[in-house]
């Protein structure tokens, strides 16, 4: 790849623009990631601040927050996911068209945060849907959300269009819908989707850091 990029630079000096379909395609995709317009808790205030003039997320191609999951590419889980809300969040994710990405924003979205031991808060949305970028913080500052967004753009940029690492929308076999948990008599059923949340390896949970 190094020689190719050198070749491209040399050709560029001669006024010849060379690219690949892969680069062009991903450049278009990463430059127009439209987030879905919904907020769950106080992190949503920081998310709104990120989109306003001072932080201006529009510079990164995310200028439109779409109020419909059908038109959105990115789900920003901005806040606490209560067990009452979790089925709706998963349902909204399922309603989004591929390619779709998820940023889990803040301590609550990634782990349950200060409410982790509560009876009504999900211990992280990554128990039910695949998350691309996690941001710690309570709440994370707008800069952190921008960093997460740039991290996501780098991830999109690096996705090859063929092979095993290709994005889900180019893989007919890939799973795009995820089971919506049911509100049971005592807890959500199932409490976790093992396919997206294989952690932990059995038995090491208390030994590692205990």
Partner 1 sequence: MKTVEEILAAIQNALPGASVDLVTNPSPSAQHSLLVAPRDAVAVASFLRDDATLALDYCSNATGVDWPGKEVSEKVKVTRLVDGVETIVEETVKQVEPGYLEAVYHLYSVKHSRDGVALPVVIRMRTGNRADQVELPSLTPVWRSCEFQEREIFDLYGIVFTGHPDLRRILMWDGFEDFPMRRDYVDPDDYEYEPTPHDEVLKRAEEHKTALAAGEVTA
User: Contact residues for partner 1 (CB under 8 A)?
Assistant: 83-84, 117-120, 123, 183-187, 191-192, 194, 199-200, 202-203, 205-206, 208-210
Q: Give the nearest distance from C-beta 147 to partner 1 in angstroms.
A: 23
Q: 197: which residues sit within 8 A by CB, 6+ positions away?
A: 126, 127, 128
CA atoms within 13 A on the CB side of 86: 31
Could you give the maximum distance between any two Cα atoms of the chain, in Å?
70
Q: Give the nearest distance from C-beta 207 to partner 1 in angstroms.
A: 9
Q: Give the nearest distance from C-beta 186 to partner 1 in angstroms.
A: 6
Report phi then psi at 93, rounded to 5. Answer: -60, -45
Extract the tokens encoding 173: 């076999």
Instruction: Kindly report the number of other CB atoms within 10 A of residue 9's CB atom.
Output: 9
**Nearer Cβ to partner 1, position 59 or 186?**
186
Q: Say how far apart CA 204 and CA 210 lie, in whole Å.
A: 10
Q: CA torsion angle for 145, 128, 68, 176 (degrees, to 10)?
A: 110
**Nearer Cβ to partner 1, position 6 or 120?**
120
Q: Give the nearest distance from C-beta 120 to partner 1 in angstroms.
A: 6
**Nearer Cβ to partner 1, position 163 or 210?**
210
**Nearer Cβ to partner 1, position 29 or 123?**
123
Q: Give the nearest distance from C-beta 167 to partner 1 in angstroms.
A: 28
**Nearer Cβ to partner 1, position 100 or 123?**
123
- What DSSP string runs through 33-44? -PBB----STHH
């Amino acid at each position: 790849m190094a020689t190719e990029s050198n070749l491209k630079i040399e050709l560029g000096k001669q006024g010849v623009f060379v690219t690949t379909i892969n680069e062009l395609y991903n450049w278009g995709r990463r430059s127009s990631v439209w987030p879905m317009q919904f907020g769950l808790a106080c992190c949503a205030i920081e998310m709104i601040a990120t989109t306003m003039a001072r932080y201006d997320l529009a510079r990164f191609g995310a200028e439109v927050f779409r109020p419909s999951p059908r038109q959105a590419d990115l789900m920003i889980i901005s806040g606490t996911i209560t067990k009452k809300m979790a089925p709706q969040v998963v349902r909204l994710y399922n309603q989004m068209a591929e390619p779709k990405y998820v940023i889990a924003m803040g301590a609550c979205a990634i782990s349950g945060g200060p409410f982790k031991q509560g009876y009504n808060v999900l211990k992280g949305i990554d128990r039910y849907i695949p998350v691309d970028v996690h941001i710690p913080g309570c709440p994370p500052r707008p800069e952190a959300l921008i960093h997460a967004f740039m991290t996501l753009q780098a991830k999109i940029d690096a996705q090859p269009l063929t092979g095993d690492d290709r994005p889900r929308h180019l893989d007919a076999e890939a799973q795009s819908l995820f089971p919506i948990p049911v509100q049971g008599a005592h807890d959500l059923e199932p409490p976790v989707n093992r396919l997206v949340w294989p952690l932990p390896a059995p038995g090491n949970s208390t030994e590692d850091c205990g």
